C-alpha cells in the first residue's frame, strides 16, 4: 500500500466545463477519499430573485442556461397557483414541447461530454451535430437559442404558427434516425462500455440516501419522474420513466440516451393535440400567498417555493435544483475508483455549477 497523496481536481480541468472543485486522496492511482468543495463559485442568485415579480421571471431563466425554460416554467407555475388560474391548453402544450426540446439539447450535451471524457472526440462531435438541429429549431420558434423567453405567468407570450408546428415535425423526423444511430454507438461500442460499465456505481439505497433525482436516480432503479404528476400538458401524453438498475456510468449514460428518444415521442404526441385558442391568461394585481411548484428538468426534480405579500416585490423565493442533489453524491461514487475514471464519473452526473453554487 503506497503513501496517501492529496491533490486538487478542478476547477480548471480538461474534462470540466464549469468550476467544480474536488479534493482527492489517492493511494497510487486509486481514489480512497474525496471532498467536494461546494460554493466555490457562489453567485447569490436567490437574493436577486426576490425583486419585482415580473422581473424575477427573467432572472429565474438565467439561473442555468441548459434548463432555463424549466426554471421559468416552475416560477410561472408558482405564480399561477397563487393567482388560482389555469393555463389554457394550447399554452400548456407549447410549454411541454419547449421543455422536451430543451431536454434533448441538455441530454445531448451531457452525452457528448461523457464521450469526450473517455477520449471519444468523434462521438462528442456527433452528439453536438445532432444537438444543433434542435438548437436551430428552437431559435426559429422562439427567436433564441438558449434562453427561450417564451414563458409568462399565465401561459406563454409567443405562439407557434402552423408553419412552426410543421417545422417541429420535420425536425423530429430528421432527428430520429440520427439519434437511433447514436443509441447504437453508445450501447454497443466496446471501448465506451469498458470505460463506463461497473464504473462509479451508485446503489439504489445510496441514491435514496443522497436524495438523487432525475436520470441519476433512475439509473439506480428509482422509477420517479415528476412529469408523471401531470404538470404542463404531460397528463395528455403517454410515457413511462426510463429506469435501469446498474447504477453505473453506463446506466446514467443510457438513461439519457433513451430519454432523448422518449422526448421526441412526447413532442410528436403533443403536435396533433394543439387546437386553436388562447395561449395565456392575463393576471391582474399583485400576488399574495405561498406556492410550491415542481417540474422535471433535464437533470431531475426542480423545486420553487414562492411567497408573495401583495406587493410588487416578492417576499421570498427558494429554489432547489437537481444538480445540487446529484453533485453531492459524487462522494459516494468516487472512493474506490481509479484516478483516470474521475472525469467520467463526474461528468456522468451532469454537474451544473450555475445550479449548485447559486
The CATH number of residue 113's host domain is 1.10.645.10
Number of domains in the chain: 1
pLDDT > 80? residue 318: yes
Give the mean model confidence (pLDDT) for residues 114-143.
Answer: 95
Q: Which domain holds residue 208?
A: 4-356
- Residue 108, all three cell numbers: 445531448
End-to-end CA gap in the chain: 40
Q: Give residue 4's pLDDT.
A: 87
pLDDT digits (tens, 9 = 90+) for 137-158: 999 999 999 899 999 999 999 9
Average pLDDT, the chain: 92
Angle at 142 between CA 278 and CA 281, to 5 degrees: 25
pLDDT > 60? residue 298: yes
* Range with the poorest average pLDDT among 167-171, 253-257, 306-310: 306-310
Q: Give residue 171's pLDDT.
A: 97
The pTM of this model reads 0.95
Beta-bridged to residue 6, according to DSSP, are 25
Give the mean model confidence (pLDDT) for residues 113-130.
Answer: 94
Give the mean model confidence (pLDDT) for residues 339-343.
Answer: 93
Mean pLDDT is highest, among 42-51, 63-72, 216-225, 312-321, for 216-225
pLDDT > 70? residue 1: no
pLDDT band for 259, please (50, 70, 90 cuts): very high
Give the mean model confidence (pLDDT) for residues 157-169.
Answer: 95
pLDDT > 80? residue 17: no
pLDDT digits (tens, 9 = 90+) for 276-291: 999 999 888 888 999 9
Any residues with CB less than 8 A from the CB of 317 and at least 6 apart, and which? 46, 49, 50, 56, 60, 75, 304, 305, 306, 307
Q: Give residue 173's pLDDT.
A: 97
Q: Give residue 307's pLDDT.
A: 92
Q: Give residue 138's pLDDT.
A: 96
- Residue 152, all three cell numbers: 409568462
Q: Give residue 46's pLDDT.
A: 76
Give the mean model confidence (pLDDT) for residues 338-350.
Answer: 93
Within 10 angstroms of residue 318's Cβ, the number of other Cβ atoms is: 13
pLDDT band for 130, please (50, 70, 90 cuts): very high
Rg of the Cα atoms in the chain = 21
Q: Give residue 2's pLDDT.
A: 60
pLDDT digits (tens, 9 = 90+) for 182-234: 999 999 999 999 999 999 999 999 999 999 999 999 999 999 999 999 999 99
Give the mean model confidence (pLDDT) for residues 172-191.
Answer: 96
- Residue 174, all three cell numbers: 430528421
Give the mean model confidence (pLDDT) for residues 229-250.
Answer: 96
Q: Give residue 357's pLDDT.
A: 80
% of the chain beyond a pLDDT of 70 = 99
pLDDT > 90? residue 32: yes
pLDDT > 60? residue 264: yes
Distance CA 94, CA 197 (A): 38
Amino acid at each position: 500500500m503506497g503513501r496517501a497523496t492529496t491533490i486538487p481536481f478542478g476547477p480548471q480541468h480538461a474534462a470540466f466545463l464549469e468550476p467544480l472543485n474536488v479534493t482527492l486522496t489517492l493511494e497510487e492511482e486509486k481514489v480512497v477519499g474525496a471532498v467536494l468543495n461546494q460554493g466555490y463559485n457562489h453567485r447569490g442568485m436567490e437574493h436577486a430573485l426576490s425583486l419585482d415579480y415580473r422581473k424575477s421571471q427573467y432572472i429565474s431563466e438565467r439561473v442555468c442556461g441548459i434548463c432555463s425554460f424549466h426554471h421559468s416554467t416552475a416560477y410561472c407555475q408558482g405564480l399561477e397557483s397563487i393567482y388560482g388560474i389555469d393555463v389554457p391548453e394550447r399554452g400548456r402544450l407549447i410549454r411541454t414541447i419547449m421543455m422536451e426540446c430543451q431536454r434533448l439539447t441538455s441530454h445531448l450535451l451531457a452525452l457528448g461530454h461523457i464521450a469526450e471524457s473517455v477520449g471519444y472526440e468523434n462521438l462528442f462531435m456527433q452528439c453536438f451535430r445532432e444537438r444543433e438541429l434542435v438548437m436551430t429549431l428552437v431559435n426559429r420558434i422562439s427567436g433564441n437559442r438558449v434562453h427561450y423567453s417564451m414563458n409568462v405567468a399565465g401561459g406563454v407570450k409567443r405562439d407557434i404558427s402552423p408553419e412552426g408546428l410543421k417545422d417541429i415535425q420535420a425536425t423530429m423526423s430528421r432527428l430520429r434516425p440520427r439519434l437511433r444511430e447514436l443509441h447504437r454507438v453508445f450501447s454497443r461500442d466496446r471501448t465506451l462500455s469498458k470505460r463506463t460499465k461497473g464504473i462509479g456505481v451508485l446503489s439504489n439505497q445510496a441514491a435514496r440516501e443522497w436524495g438523487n433525482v432525475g436520470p441519476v436516480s433512475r439509473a439506480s432503479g428509482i422509477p420517479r419522474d415528476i412529469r408523471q404528476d401531470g404538470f404542463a400538458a404531460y397528463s395528455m401524453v403517454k410515457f413511462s420513466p426510463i429506469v435501469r438498475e446498474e447504477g453505473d456510468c453506463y446506466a446514467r449514460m443510457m438513461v439519457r440516451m433513451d430519454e432523448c428518444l422518449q422526448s421526441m415521442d412526447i413532442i410528436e404526441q403533443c403536435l396533433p393535440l394543439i387546437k386553436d385558442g388562447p395561449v395565456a391568461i392575463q393576471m391582474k394585481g399583485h400576488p399574495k400567498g405561498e406556492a410550491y411548484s415542481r417540474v422535471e428538468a433535464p437533470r431531475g426534480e426542480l423545486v420553487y417555493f414562492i411567497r408573495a405579500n401583495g406587493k410588487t416585490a416578492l417576499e421570498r423565493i427558494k429554489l432547489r435544483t437537481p444538480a445540487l442533489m446529484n453533485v453531492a453524491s459524487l462522494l459516494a461514487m468516487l472512493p474506490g475508483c481509479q484516478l483516470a475514471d474521475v472525469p467520467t464519473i463526474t461528468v456522468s452526473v451532469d454537474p451544473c455549477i450555475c445550479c449548485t453554487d447559486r
